[in-house]
Amino acid sequence: MQQKTHTYLRFVRYKDLNLWDVKRFWGDLDLLFSSSVRLKDILSPHFEPVSKEEMLNKQWHIISKINFAGKLFLRDVSEAKTFKGNLNKIDSNTLIYSKINVKHGCIYFHPDNAEPFGVSSEYPAYKIDASKVSGAYLVKVIQSQYFKTLLNQKTSGISKARVKPYEFLDIKIPLPSLSEQQTLVKAYNDRIQQAETLEKQAEQIGKDINAYFSDKLKTNKFKEYDEQNAANEYNFLRFVRFKNLNEWGINLMQTKNANISSSYQIKKIREVCSLGSGGTPSRSTPRYYKGSIPWIKTGEVLNEEIFETEEHITQEAINNSSAKLYPKGSLIIAMYGQGDTRGRTAKIGIDATTNQACAVLYDINNNIVITDYLWYYLQKQYNDLRSLASGNNQPNLNAGKIKNYDIVIPPIDIQKTIVKHINKQKEQIKQLKQQAENLKKEALEKFEKEIFE
């Protein structure tokens, strides 16, 4: 007898219903694993209150966050003094997740013999049944794209943000034997370790580029007899010649750039190019952002050449703001921005505009300095450029500091040699990073293929 198929109806046995909500178990119906289990059958809620006094006495940390990759970040021990709210002690063999971001992969397993730490109620905790499931396997399964989608369906509360514990525990996962779990996790970790090895190789090449640069430029810490001897004699004083001051500020004397010398000429940025900035057209006029002219923000300044931008503006937007159109081949220095943004550089591969947080080096005199040489030099000076920033809440660079920044400029033929060498090294870095990315992608794809097919 031929079995009927019902296109518009799906039948669910009463015994399989845990929650009266079609959406919440809809995805669950698609799990056709040969062996599966609900999380509530392998996880036991864990709550062990711990006082702030005990946390401080035992030097235990409080959680800061779990990132999207499942990495745990902890606060400084001293922050327990000012922490508000109750704490739950997390010791070994415990799984925790972020109620808000578990749908993004924010889940962590604390292994055996690891030091305890504390969490708030925003991080539900569970002891795992180690006779049935591996913590590492469980984390990888829940971080899979399938379960991220499923968890996103289960969110509730303000802006549908949180996954409640009973909803989390109701999830059904595939559960092969422990030996199979360990095999899957090992295969995944092996590929990830290979990727990390490639990333370290790329990082080392980056360090080699800096060492090569310093060697080719023959740069040394700046020394003059009277200043150096005076500094040696008076340990708490440092003498600086007036001619070496560009502006008042003791922090400016602490930068490496302020103390370099070279057998080659040293020129300030303003002596080899023009310096400009940009602007942000009014957001209250939406049509300004419906144009075709590239508009660069500091978040897009990533030490790469820019050929495409997230947003585009119109000529009218340029006419009615401080934004300016800069020619292809100009360089950008991010003057401020979130995290590591300040001090980053980029090369414009197209005619483009920028926002006001970008300093733009244009009309570069290539008879004095090759554009790519200047760009690579500025990349090498990233940390030093950042140290020039001022301000309390969000330290900023400004055009005045950038235009007076010193650049070591060897003869053009040496610049060409340096650029050629660095281009070759950067290509190696690019290839290594791509290989690492491919391995990470392959690790995840193969893991999920074994689970879901």
DSSP element (H, E) containing 332: strand 331-334
Q: How many CB atoms lie within 10 A of CB 167?
A: 18
Closest by Cα among 81, 42, 35 to 62: 81
Read off the pTM.
0.74
C-alpha–C-alpha distance, residues 158 and 153, integer Å? 14
Q: Which of 278, 362, 352, 292 is nearest to 321 (CA)?
A: 278
Residues in CB range of 263: below 8 A, 6 or more apart: 218
Phi, psi of 217 (to 5 degrees): -85, -10
Q: Along the 453 residues of the chain, how does pLDDT read in single tens digits? A: 444 444 444 444 555 555 445 444 444 444 555 688 999 999 999 999 999 999 999 999 999 999 999 999 999 999 999 999 999 999 999 999 999 999 899 999 999 989 999 999 999 999 999 999 999 999 999 998 888 888 877 665 554 578 889 989 999 999 999 999 999 999 999 999 999 999 999 999 999 998 998 888 876 543 333 344 434 433 444 444 555 545 544 444 444 455 567 789 999 999 999 999 999 999 999 999 999 999 999 999 999 999 999 999 999 999 999 999 999 999 999 998 778 899 999 999 999 999 999 999 999 999 999 999 999 999 999 999 998 887 766 778 899 999 999 999 999 999 999 999 999 999 999 999 999 999 999 999 999 988 876
Residue linked to tokens 């070759």: 424
Largest CA distance in the chain: 103
pLDDT of residue 412: 97
Residue identified by tokens 């300040």 is: 342
Distance between alpha carbon 302 and the CA centroid of its chain, in Å? Answer: 11
